[in-house]
Amino acid sequence: MPKALITGVTGQDGAYLAQHLLDRGYEVIGLMRRSASSDVIGERLRWLGVLDHVQLVDGNLVDLSSLIRIMQAHKPDEVYNLAAQSFVAASWQQPLLTGSVTALGAGNILEAVRLMRPEARFYQASSSEMFGLIQEPKQSERTPFYPRSPYGVAKLYAHWMTVNYRESFGLHASSGILFNHESPLRGIEFVTRKVTDGVARIKLGLAQELPLGNLDAKRDWGHARDYVRAMHLMLQQEEADDYVIATGTTTSIRDLCRIAFAHVGLSYEDHVRTDPRFMRPAEVDVLLGDAGKARQRLGWAPEVPLDAMVAEMVDADLARHRARMAR
């Protein structure tokens, strides 16, 4: 039975990846950071029905000793580093924390793997936010980076550290440069989930309007379930490498709103308003990924279309609010 360690296992991607690996016969160990909200920290895993099948262990990316201890005790065959301070907006308010966790945390776990489990295969969750102020209309593995937020800068450090550990120490270390990917498990602070939750509340009469930031920003959105498949495929390759994972289609936040509101028979124009509070200090206007390398070498392709993903998210938020209303 292969053994995988997932950092960030209680997040959206970690939960879907845990489910994916468990379905393939893996033993899954999840790194869990102790916090005041520990009573609800496993909700995503519970929602997918896999909480009781994941072994949660205490540790923290900023504590190298805890990572060394976990590597020594569990000897994972695959290590997936998904943990981060991952909310772009918060990275301007907490830039040093973002650097400590998202950037230096990746360096810590790479060092723990090098010291204690160099034969393990390592995956780093890189981000399309590293492209930032785009240098090419469609971004591939060869596109120069130009991050526009502390989060993007931190992810870039982690990305290049992964490349360096691969080239310097011979680790089987791959990075997935993932474009935006969503699901019903997305955090409420992210714009896609903010939209689908707002649609649900408005449909149920719990709200009348939905304040948002830049409606003209465009993103390449896919489903998290598709993207964790790509993570696993990367670590099954004979040689480690870096891959862009994207749908190759870009959609504005305005059109996202149109799709989500239309799913419940409403017009977004009647409810969405622009609020300056939600504007980024430095906007990333458009992101569009070229996943040709992943298609060719990994045999990967997205399966869930945008409309179906948005409908799934709206329906899940409607069910959540109806359950609360029935209490």
Domains of the chain, residue spans: 3-182+221-245, 191-219+250-286+304-325
CA 26 to chain centre: 21
| Domain 3-182+221-245 class, CATH top level | alpha beta
Report the pLDDT value the prediction gives residue 37, as an integer from 0 to 100. 55
Q: Are 20 and 183 in contact (CB under 8 A)?
A: no
Name beta bridge partners: 65. none
pLDDT at 124 exceeding the cut of 70: yes
Report the pLDDT value the prediction gives residue 92, as an integer from 0 to 100. 87
Token digits for 183? Answer: 């699901």
Nearest one of 143, 93, 174 to 287, comparing CA atoms: 143
Q: What is the Cα–Cα distance from 128 to 288, expressed in whole angstroms?
A: 9
Find the range with the poorest average confidence among 143-147, 168-172, 179-183, 323-327: 323-327
Q: How confident is the model at residue 275 (pLDDT cuts 50, 70, 90)?
A: confident
Q: Identify the H or E element spanning 5.
A: strand 3-7
Find the range with the poorest average confidence among 119-123, 219-223, 282-286: 282-286
Can you identify the CATH homologous superfamily of domain 191-219+250-286+304-325? UDP-galactose 4-epimerase, domain 1 (3.90.25.10)
Q: Are 172 and 121 in contact (CB under 8 A)?
A: yes
pLDDT in tens, 35-62: 645 566 789 999 999 999 999 999 999 9
Report the pLDDT value the prediction gives residue 40, as an integer from 0 to 100. 66
Alpha helices, DSSP H, located in the chain:
12-23, 43-47, 64-74, 88-93, 95-98, 105-116, 150-169, 191-203, 224-234, 253-263, 292-298, 306-325
Q: Are 80 and 131 in contact (CB under 8 A)?
A: no
What does pTM read for this prediction? 0.94
**End-to-end CA, the chain:** 43
Report the pLDDT value the prediction gives residue 267, as an integer from 0 to 100. 97
Higher per-residue confidence, 280 vs 111? 111
Nearest one of 278, 307, 316, 279 to 199, comparing CA atoms: 316
CA 186 to chain centre: 9
pLDDT at 235 exceeding the cut of 70: yes
Find the range with the poorest average confidence among 36-45, 117-126, 193-202, 228-237: 36-45
pLDDT in tens, 137-162: 999 999 999 999 999 999 999 999 99
Report the pLDDT value the prediction gives residue 292, as an integer from 0 to 100. 98
> Which residues participate in catalysis according to the annotation?
127, 129, 151
